[in-house]
């Protein structure tokens, strides 16, 4: 099984492309494709990357924000930090209040983009894994609600399950535009999807109630 996976990995065109273009992960192309379509990250933005290891998404974000932007990457696992002065990498569990407070301290309040390509630890038991996935998704959404500035953007990986539609409906009360997609670089056999929330509107729900 492991040997077959290794063969598939090394034959994967995005794996080869990442090696050639010196990206840390083939996942870099997922964000590049998502950003090309939805214009998520712009020069000068402050970006928070939740579940950053090994750094593929942070690497793309650094290219997009330029010298005037800031990228903060957080992950439970150790990963090689970037040398750019406008990158801050930290090790920790981003679902905990302590780490979230540290993120806010680093960015000085608010971020323009929150992004996450994180996956939960999988047990192989479908029901348990779906619950872990949705819990992680709501953790990312909760952080986004706390640190996104008005009209900020969110992009995150999700796995379809019983609560998938409910989660999307919830996001539609918070963002002007919500889109779901599966970029070309995402493996076809993977059940992962990507959700993009554009133009965070913290008072959208309240405005609707007043009408």
* pLDDT tens profile 47-87: 999 999 999 999 999 999 999 999 999 999 999 989 999 99
Q: Give me the mean pLDDT over the 104-120 stretch.
A: 94
Q: Give me the mean pLDDT over the 158-183 stretch.
A: 93
- Which domains, and CATH codes, for the chain? 26-210 (3.40.50.150)
- Residues recognised as catalytic: 157
Tell whether the model's pLDDT for residue 176 goes beyond 80: yes
pLDDT for 125:
76
Question: At 158, which helix (H) or strand (E)?
Answer: strand 148-159
Q: Which pLDDT band holds residue 206 (cuts at 50, 70, 90)? A: very low
Residue 167 φ/ψ, nearest 5 degrees: -65, -45
The mean-pLDDT minimum among 76-80, 90-94, 198-202, 205-209 falls in 205-209
| Whole-angstrom distance, CA of residue 133 vs CA of residue 163 | 10
Give whole-number Cα distances, 52 to 5, 13, 89, in Å.
Answer: 23, 22, 9
pLDDT for 189:
78
Of 180, 199, 193, nearest to 37 by C-alpha is: 180
Tell whether the model's pLDDT for residue 130 goes beyond 80: no
pLDDT for 116:
98
Q: Interior CA angle at 92 toward 173 and 150, to 5°?
A: 25
Burial class (CB in 10 A: 0-12, 13-18, 19+), 92: middle
Neighbours of 39 (CB within 10 A): 10
């Amino acid at each position: 099984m492991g040997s077959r996976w290794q063969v598939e990995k090394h034959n994967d065109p995005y794996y080869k492309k990442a090696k050639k273009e010196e990206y840390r992960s083939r996942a870099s192309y997922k964000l590049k494709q998502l950003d090309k379509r939805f214009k998520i990250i712009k020069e000068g933005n402050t970006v928070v990357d939740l579940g950053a290891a090994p750094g593929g998404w942070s690497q793309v974000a650094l290219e997009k924000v330029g010298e005037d932007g800031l990228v903060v990457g957080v992950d439970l696992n150790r990963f090689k930090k970037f040398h750019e002065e406008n990158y801050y990498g930290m090790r920790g569990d981003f679902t905990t209040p302590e780490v979230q407070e540290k993120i806010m301290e680093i960015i000085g309040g608010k971020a323009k983009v929150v992004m996450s390509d994180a996956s939960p630890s999988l047990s192989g038991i479908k029901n348990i894994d779906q619950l872990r996935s949705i819990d992680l998704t709501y953790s990312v959404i909760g952080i986004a609600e706390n640190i996104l500035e008005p009209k900020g953007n969110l992009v995150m990986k999700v796995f379809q399950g019983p609560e998938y539609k409910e989660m999307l409906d919830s996001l539609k009360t918070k963002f002007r535009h919500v889109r779901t997609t599966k970029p070309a670089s995402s493996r076809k056999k993977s059940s992962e999807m990507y959700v993009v929330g554009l133009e965070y509107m913290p008072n959208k729900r309240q405005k609707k109630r007043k009408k």
